[in-house]
Amino acid sequence: MIIEKKKILITGVAGFLGSNFLVKTLNEGHRVVGIDNLSMGSLQNIKNSLDHENFEFIEGDVLDTTLIDRLDEDFDVIVHLAAFKIPRYGNAVDTLKINSKGSENMLELARKLKCKFVLASTSDVYGMSPDIPFKEDGNCLIGDSKVPRWAYAVSKLFDEHLALAYMEDYDFPVVILRFFGSYGPNQNLSWWGGPQSVFIDCILNNKEIPIHGDGQQTRTFTYVNDTIEGIYAATMKPEANGEVFNIGANEEITILDLATLLKEISGEPTTSEVKLIPYNEISAGRKYQDVMRRVPDNTKAERILGIKAQTSLKEGLRITFEWQKKVSLQKA
């Protein structure tokens, strides 16, 4: 099949998913303009692409409408990844502002250019729904407004509704992708990157492995290449337009077992022991609500996008462990 070469605008290009998606799109021969304010991403993540003839990097903010007005006018698709992620125990203003206003600004650009818009959403929108596995047309169960972590899910639900409303009123295609815990090279090395980042760091440095709650909460971590295949298929395939997709693997694991598996994978003697930390200790006495099970139904992504996660959790974590070990040694 001959794939038409596209001109793609990626927001959040220097972040974890953005930088991996950039490599994929350039390898496939597309032209890319990438924006990032480098608040959470880094030039290090995209350094190998900065001189690529088909790539232009703009250090800038998706809240900056003057910058957005000056962008090229010939994009075929905008892949909107820039966002502020989960505010675990406070500081929800950035999350709410960037994920609402920033997304609105990028949707306005798509409206002006009449180009396709791919939105990064999250599995967190399902909240505490008991309907496992989560289906795209299922219910979303968001908790107490006094628990700051829900600001993220609410901001992404707002984005989803806004994008679908723009599609209906202004007649351009939108695709919504709900990612399930992606991990791999270029992941952020703090909690921002997910528990696996922190656990690997603890194992490498013989520190206690902090687990919030009793560690029985489950996730289905997804190796980054599998996430990127999902974003790519959604970007390229017209069949995806107007749809919402779960993008994830389906090997469910408890957070406690994740820590044990990573210790096994390290293959090194480590003195790291798990430390269970009650939620109220971490949240400075404020109420916290966790998602106890998170598993996607992937049948829609398989049927329409033609994708299925290929990397086993063990193999993906092994690659990620090796990557993080190398990065940590370089930093030392």
Ligand X SMILES: NC(=O)c1ccc[n+]([C@@H]2O[C@H](COP(=O)([O-])OP(=O)(O)OC[C@H]3O[C@@H](n4cnc5c(N)ncnc54)[C@H](O)[C@@H]3O)[C@@H](O)[C@H]2O)c1
Binding site for ligand X (CB under 6 A): 12, 14-18, 35-41, 61-63, 81-85, 98, 102, 120, 122, 179, 181-182, 188
Q: How many CB atoms lie within 10 A of CB 324?
A: 22
**Residue nearer to ligand X on the CB measure, 197 or 272:** 197
Nearest-CA neighbor of 230 among 211, 214, 243? 243
In the residue annotation, 288 being an active-site residue is answered as no
Place of tokens 């994740």: 258
**Terminal C-alpha separation, the chain:** 46
Active-site entry in 152, 166, 183, 288: 152
CB nearer to ligand X: pick between 136 and 270:
136
Place of tokens 């169960």: 141
What tokens does 322 get?
Answer: 């090796």
Q: How far is the CB of 291 from ligand X (least distance, A)?
A: 12
Q: Which is nearer to ligand X, 280 or 312 (CB)?
A: 312
**Interhelix angle for 195-204 vs 313-331, to 10°?**
60
Nearer to ligand X, 186 or 272 (CB): 186
Nearer to ligand X, 62 or 309 (CB): 62
Contact 239, 256 (CB under 8 A): no
Question: What is the residue whose two structure tokens read 């997910």?
Answer: 194
Nearest approach in angstroms of CB 152 to ligand X is 7
What's the Rg (C-alpha) of the chain? 19
Token couple for 32: 């890319």
139: its two tokens: 């219910």
- Output the smallest distance, CB 122 to ligand X, in A: 4
Q: What are the φ and ψ backbone dihedral angles of 120, each rounded to 5 degrees?
A: -80, 110
DSSP 52-96: -TTEEEEE--TT-HHHHHTS-S--SEEEE-------SSS--HHHH
- In the DSSP assignment, the letter for residue 240 is G
Tokens for 233, please give them: 């298929």
Within 10 angstroms of residue 29's Cβ, the number of other Cβ atoms is 10
In sequence order, what are the beta bridge partners of 34? Answer: 10, 57
Shortest Å distance, C-beta 20 to ligand X: 8
Instruction: Compute the Cα dihedral for 111, 116, 122, 128 and give only its sign.
Output: positive
- The catalytic residues are 152
